[in-house]
Chains A and B, each alone.
Chain A
């Protein structure tokens, strides 16, 4: 695969996309796992499908439509959640299905032969274009920048948001900001693993890192490194075995988590006996 990597632009793009995805996965993945908003992230991701459909229908870049829908879903879910009168999981479910339904409807309205939506649903890293790569780069930079400059605030907010509110930190702003960052992360991951599969890529490295290291920053770094390992190894296996890249990466991530989890349980039982 190494010679092919030097030779083919599409493989270079795939590797670059994997690295970007791993970085944001490491950071945002750890946060959503700790804040227990994994399913909310799932809702945001699936709503993005509506944007892809709208992009195809109106003739603009589908990924831009996905950005629009994901960010709207993030703000909408965040707003309803803050009102506190409806259960969050109801809102998540409605956004989740409504976004998917809109996507299907928009594609249905398109005249002529429908486009291939599978790569958005299940990812196809080998077809990442230069323009998409630039979009991913931009999104990753925004995510990393916002997390890094407010790192101490994020830590206080994630640990105890009520206390943070009392001492005068703008927690409402942080909450919306976090959901928007989740939306941007989802966009970075769509080409890699697809709307349906990306949730495991977002959580598996973070959850594995949580089993291994204790400090928040170290978890983010380790989750990022695990992400790189899962993505590149998955890419290589999928290239050699000629199977779908997204699915390969996800299977590898989840199995790795299962292995580490099992080893940890065995170790604990061994030591307590």
Chain B
């Protein structure tokens, strides 16, 4: 089994407050891992640390056995949609094709026919090829999220990192996005996504990890009450209303959960 992402005892601080304190995690090639945790639990920070965007206080991060940011080109990053300026005057096709830019700075760089075709292919993969000429400001939340995913795919990555891919998306689109991610995972992509949406994610991913500064669990997508309580630092009532999949395992004498 090949290890896609290896994190050893990672510490990241923001102005002397720890965001991540001793996180160790191994993500196997082909794994579909969902990381959940409370807001401020360091989920986005973990992704940024993997990408080499935040300074690491101590610990190591490896992408396919190379210390970051060396193998960064193997990663397709899908940021939180709120982190991107949705009012910027750029069309869907133009936004996706930016992934084909040559690294560095090349004077008079022009996208080739191949680049353009590939960008269109990626839009087809996420099902918004009909919107290629639209301005991004005219997209719905779900369409915009799929655009960001298409842009990441346009990098031809081995690993996909997604930050809250369904945060500003309606339930139907959210389901469609998870279907899409499952297809991509089946096609061989390693996927790591972070979200605070426990109910949906547990039913969609292959494995689950819980993060609140530290990793408190990594394993099957099945949450027990002690794990959730440890993750949030206090007892939490989880009521899975209207979710067809079981998130919480039934426990003896319990009646408040699913």
Residue numbers of A with Cβ under 8 A of B are: 34, 149-150, 152-153, 155-156, 158-160, 162-170, 173-174, 210, 214-216, 219
Contacts and interface: CB of A to CB of B under 8 A. Distances in A.
B158 interface: no
B135 A150 contact: no
Given A34-B88, A160-B79, A215-B91, A167 B111 contact: no
21 contacts: A34-B85, A34-B88, A150-B107, A152-B109, A155-B94, A155-B98, A159-B90, A159-B95, A163-B77, A163-B84, A163-B98, A166-B51, A167-B98, A167-B155, A169-B104, A169-B105, A210-B89, A214-B89, A214-B135, A215-B135, A216-B88
Contacts of A214: 89, 135, 137
A169 B101 contact: yes
Contacts of A158: 88
Nearest to B161: A166
B151 A163 contact: yes
B32 to A, nearest CB: 21
Interface of A (DSSP majority class):
helix
Interface in B55-92: 72-73, 75, 77, 79, 83-85, 88-91
B89 A168 contact: no
Contacts of A215: 89, 91, 135
A173 B105 CA distance: 9
Nearest to A170: B105
Contacts of B103: 167-169
A156 B99 CA distance: 9
Interface string B93-115: 01100110101111111110000
B53 interface: yes
B89 A152 contact: no
Contacts of B79: 160, 162-163
7 cross-chain pairs, A with B, having the tightest CB-CB distances, nearest first? A168-B103, A156-B98, A149-B107, A216-B89, A214-B135, A159-B88, A170-B105
B83 A162 contact: yes
B89 A219 contact: yes
A166 B72 contact: yes
Given A153-B106, A160-B79, 19 more contacts: A149-B107, A152-B98, A152-B111, A153-B109, A155-B94, A155-B98, A158-B88, A159-B98, A162-B53, A163-B77, A163-B98, A165-B53, A166-B72, A167-B98, A167-B101, A170-B104, A170-B105, A214-B135, A216-B88
B225 to A, nearest CB: 37
A34 B90 CA distance: 11
Contact of A167 (B73, B91, B109, B135): B73
B105 A216 contact: no
Contacts of A165: 53
Q: Which of A153, A167, A170 has the most CB of B within 10 A?
A: A167
A248 B228 CA distance: 66
A163 B90 CA distance: 15
A153 B101 CA distance: 7
Interface in B31-67: 51, 53
Given A156-B98, A159-B85, A166-B51, A150 B105 contact: yes
A92 to B, nearest CB: 20
A162 B53 CA distance: 8
Nearest to A30: B89
Contacts of A156: 98, 101
B47 to A, nearest CB: 11
A153 to B, nearest CB: 6
A162 to B, nearest CB: 7
Nearest to B88: A159
A243 B13 CA distance: 58
Contacts of A210: 89
Contacts of B94: 155
A166 B53 contact: yes
Given A34-B89, A168-B104, A215-B91, A160 B84 contact: yes
